[in-house]
Structure 1
């Protein structure tokens, strides 16, 4: 039988307060007290994996080993069919400014522009199919782990539309919709997103009778 999370503490392997709040709310009904790796002073491990699964496991295993508690990590990103799945695990890296592009930090409009520029370079008939992926990894201090993968398919549009999303949301139109993720109300987006898909699988596996 696969190991199950019990009550008690769960480390969320993030230094992002917003992500901690979102994940804590999703897990609150199951009696878990969530604390962030950042609040414990744990360092962020280098994400050297070549896949979402590998990077999620790196983060979860590092947090579990350092804290002595079970840990949950996620890794997510955008993949574009015509770009052979890029940016993929480098989704956030494509938004990082170089030294000649201004102050350090992430520029998501620039990242969206990079994707669009590469697509246009493929010609007018290039596929605009794309998908968001999310991997959730749970690791226990003794080395046991579980992985849950979520995905939402759609197409890319240009120019960006909407103010409610983040990252690449303004150019991503999910299947069966005419609105981008940035035009969809947050509660509606959360119901159909790649993260929602992964969490549904986690909940079904970890908390089902």
Structure 2
């Protein structure tokens, strides 16, 4: 089996990721098993499943989330997508996607916040793809201006308590909790 740095990094990140509950633990184990079995498991060429990387971008006060209106899906999602062979790490893939889709220069928390597996009927010619999505969190710099990429119909800030896609509620709540916990830790150390 051919080892690749990106695949090795993804396995390492997932193995070290603390699982919030049994469901997240089961997904983590499934993603690692997928990568163990598929040398190309982080690339879109791996069918039907492949690992993807995404980022929940929050405002500095964690009151808003930056979402993209995905052109193919016609729904609002967090920023993210497929890893590319040039991505040295899963974190780099998530960051590249966030920067490409928003124009924002963001720094990501290196520990994933959430995992999700979902069917993606518009991903590829066979319509049988499943994304094994590893989700990171970032905070946008104050005053940063975003832009929309060709993959998006729109990119917009949304209040975290008024999301256009209710499926994002759990993910956004986890991201907000992580950012606020980090802020509390910083404030508590002063």
Question: Do the two structures share a fold, i.e. TM-score over 0.5?
Answer: no
Higher helix fraction: Structure 1 or Structure 2?
A: 1
